[in-house]
Structure 1
């Protein structure tokens, strides 16, 4: 009988004991903020959205950090897909530089000019049934597009969004995919 009680006590102590003290969060991922670095490419043209603030010889010239923005002036009910900024990757400058609207073009400059024109750097990603997204600027309500046959690296322009998503040839130049950051590479020696 004593053996059974001893065995039961040991079993219960193992069952109810924890290997870590209470209150310590073992899930490291919950405590870290991961910001993805991406390359923005035209789905049908392969056009690459370039960061002109950086020397074009550097791989970072085609990279952006995708940063989610929370601004009470723009509620989720109005922007159900959320709001993001395309920021220059950290470590290149001391200030935050973002892709933002300047006229009908996108430039890379300070994310916020003294708190003014922040919404010029706010974009909403609108999913499509192709796996690509439309990139809509919050301030203008227009979408990014690459010219027909727009190949290579450059800066997209803005035009009226092709919405609702319909079967139209016009939508193809507004479709973008967010690719993992990549750069020049060569064949490795064997």
Structure 2
């Protein structure tokens, strides 16, 4: 039985891989990736972002805040899972592949919700200094994508997995009733 795939999910997993790799590189290479660092040219747009979100900025780095790199490490795990899903679903045709994609999307969603919850519970400690327009443009919209799209992926792949389990249960029940006759 062929693996049911969805182009939009596969594109999300494929397109986000280099974006995440770039972000992970910035986080793991701090302070060299930051303004004034010899590698900053690679991450020039972070010049703005490290001022918008202090988790990415000098303050977090100097205080030894480990959250930035901890979430980056999880980004690496998620991305490997996303790429594994792509390979297993599209190349090898492994029927449980949607479970890998589902788990990866749950990781992304959970980590991003944690990131937002941290800001809520600390009173906006890393982003509260922004104007509302900067906050919406540079933090809420870009980070919101990492909640909305993984949520949609969890729903879609969850439904596909559920449908497959129901179908397998029906087949098993039919086979069991056939043996009883």
TM-score tier by shorter-chain length is under 0.3
Structure number with bigger Rg: 1
The structure richer in strand per residue is 1
The structure richer in helix per residue is 2
Give me the TM-score of the superposition, normalised by structure 1. Answer: 0.23
Give me the TM-score of the superposition, normalised by structure 2. Answer: 0.24
